[in-house]
Structure 1
């Protein structure tokens, strides 16, 4: 399989380099193509044109000038294809009316292709109006063959070239649409990341501020620790937001996703839990060691679900609440369970689900991407709130090779 994809990859890279070079120096390709076809037209004008001419006695200077008129406008085929075709049509009209019937007249197909590729469909009607007069003039002036044998095949040839241009244009528009959709999806992902970052860090800061206010009267040193933690959390939040906004800015400038720092994963769960503990929430964690083999995106899903669950507990479970985090690497799935005691209002977080559940909706979407499930509801043991995430292990086909 690798042997079949490698040549295609090399061809795509070569084409990408060629397009990049052409975009930076378009005059090189324009001059090369124009010179090639001009040379070919002059070779034919040196005598080969008489093989198909209806009137071999056409003066040589007229054949030479007509050949140049049919070839030189190719230099402007991309910037002004309709104007180039108009000039070439004049040369084709002279060629047909004089009886030279130069083969260089077929070069009109080149600007026709670019008109179909870059101009509105109605421009093809003007192209037909420019191409028809030389064909009809030659057909009626020299009636050795029936007029339809001269006109119809040429029209079919130009029509096929126009269809080819339309096909290439459609493929290009589809590719551009895919790029725009990918950019929109990436912006939506960044928006969710920003929601998670802001929501979590503001909750931590709020908890630290409340704790510091209560401790200021009796334990001033604890208040100072709370202020230090607030400053640290704020700087971390600002750093992450700057990084995400930098990604958006680079996408606006370059039109493609920029390189990103590694996203948090399972190894970052202890640091996340320590940050929540500093905010005043007692968290009991049971985190196994080892690597369950989850993809980076799946590990990020586990991290964000835990972050969202602890943030909701911190905001809604009330004073004195506790949370328990359990992560297990089972034979078929990795399971994260987060429960809290919910001492405020008989379940705290559960009562606030309509306002706090927007982040959990995003977590369900994240879990579904990896064929996982996310369950949220009251804990049957103590009436608190429970969040359970299950992500199946990647199959052999899904695992990276």
Structure 2
């Protein structure tokens, strides 16, 4: 049964044609059993127009409405009183209100009052009828037309509402896909920054230690052995961090048991690793340490890590560095300075480290400056807000 209903809904012309044939059969039966003398042409013309209008009411609603008006004029001019075929008129009014443009719907509403008034004036010729009875008759004739128009207009409103819901759902789906793409691009950029920092820092430590071990392997085997141990530990640390990042890419939402991301608490370990790689570094902390959001803490760690990596790569063999953290009332100030080559340091032509630092700081509404110091060496200074949606105080 459901399949038949769906088949009929998909073929409105078939359904309307069936109703038109039923109306045609009943009207012909009425005409043949009670023929009107002398005006059969007008009667048959009105019948064809109205039955055709019922058949095409959803396909050509405007044309059908005009044809119905024409059928009414034919009936008035040919003196064809209301008959079975006029049951088509409320149906046409419903179709015009539901499917036709607004101007056609208003024209159909006007017909709801014009047609009964014209019929009463043309064929209601009993002078003894009281005014109240005339009003009642007018309401009885007008009621079905007005009810049909109200039902059709309600159908139009409901269809428009459903269409708006479908359009909104499609728009929300497109926006969701676009937001997912933006989020994926942001996540790729974040992971790219993380991978750059992990690889650049740890590989540079391993290269420095490997060079030292190569020089000391004959003259100082113990120092070479210690350097190799540092290389091994650094490599394991790099693999652990890369495994954590790749685990984020592979995760499907369940708990993967990943290692927590580094933050300010791990700066001492970073200092020890950097000193072990041969770069003297001092950490100074001023102010009252405040609890930082995970993202801010990670940004501080990565900025320090990248700045020290650049010092080790470009500062020269005798460079030393200082890391200064100052907790203020509204912001955390971070400064990394060294006494290396500064403006005379050779570059590698890449510059991704500084770009990554600026992106990290910009994510939290902070500022960053980096460049050679006037007194020599290099200076990286950043300020990260502590108050706001991304920070804690």
1:86 to 3, 7, 10: 10
SS of structure 2 residue aligned to 1:170: helix
Residue 167 (structure 1) aligns with: 168
TM-superposed CA distance for 1:338, in Å, is 1.1
CA shift digits 1:307-353 (9 cap, x unpaired) = 110000111111121111111212332112111111xxx426x6345
CA distance in 2, matches of 1:269, 1:202: 18
Residue 361 (structure 1) aligns with: 355
> Superposition RMSD on alpha carbons, in Å?
3.6
Residue 298 (structure 1) aligns with: 296
Moved more, 301-310 or 208-217: 208-217
CA distance in 2, matches of 1:163, 1:97: 36
1:69 equivalenced with 2:1 (yes/no): no
Where does the alignment leave 5 or more consecutive residues of structure 1 unmatched? 1-64, 74-82, 100-129
SS of structure 2 residue aligned to 1:371: coil
Query: Are 1:247 and 1:257, in contact at CA under 8 Å, matched by a contact in 2?
Result: no
CA shift digits 1:74-121 (9 cap, x unpaired) = xxxxxxxxx78526775576467557xxxxxxxxxxxxxxxxxxxxxx
Where does the alignment leave 5 or more consecutive residues of structure 2 unmatched? 24-55, 69-84, 100-155
SS of structure 2 residue aligned to 1:292: coil
Moved more, 386-395 or 135-144: 135-144
Instruction: Using structure 2 for the length normalisation, give the TM-score.
Output: 0.63
How many residue pairs get aligned? The number is 286
Query: CA separation of 1:188/1:372 partners in 2, compared to 1, >3 Å: closer, same or farther?
Result: same
CA shift digits 1:155-211 (9 cap, x unpaired) = 235344333312211112111211221112111111111111111111111111111
Residue 388 (structure 1) aligns with: 381
Residue 347 (structure 1) aligns with: 342
CA distance in 2, matches of 1:339, 1:262: 28
TM-superposed CA distance for 1:298, in Å, is 1.2
1:314 equivalenced with 2:306 (yes/no): no
Instruction: Using structure 1 for the length normalisation, give the TM-score.
Output: 0.62
Query: CA separation of 1:392/1:221 partners in 2, compared to 1, >3 Å: closer, same or farther?
Result: same
CA distance in 2, matches of 1:314, 1:272: 13
Residue 239 (structure 1) aligns with: 240
CA shift digits 1:358-398 (9 cap, x unpaired) = 211221121122221111122234x0111111223215x76
CA distance in 2, matches of 1:328, 1:86: 73
2:364 to 367, 370, 388: 370
Query: Are 1:211 and 1:280, in contact at CA under 8 Å, matched by a contact in 2?
Result: no
TM-superposed CA distance for 1:306, in Å, is 0.3
Moved more, 90-99 or 282-291: 90-99
1:132 equivalenced with 2:58 (yes/no): yes
1:150 equivalenced with 2:148 (yes/no): no
Residue 329 (structure 1) aligns with: 327
1:272 to 241, 260, 270: 270
Query: Are 1:264 and 1:303, in contact at CA under 8 Å, matched by a contact in 2?
Result: yes
CA distance in 1, matches of 2:257, 2:60: 56
CA distance in 2, matches of 1:362, 1:289: 27
Query: Are 2:296 and 2:390, in contact at CA under 8 Å, matched by a contact in 1?
Result: no
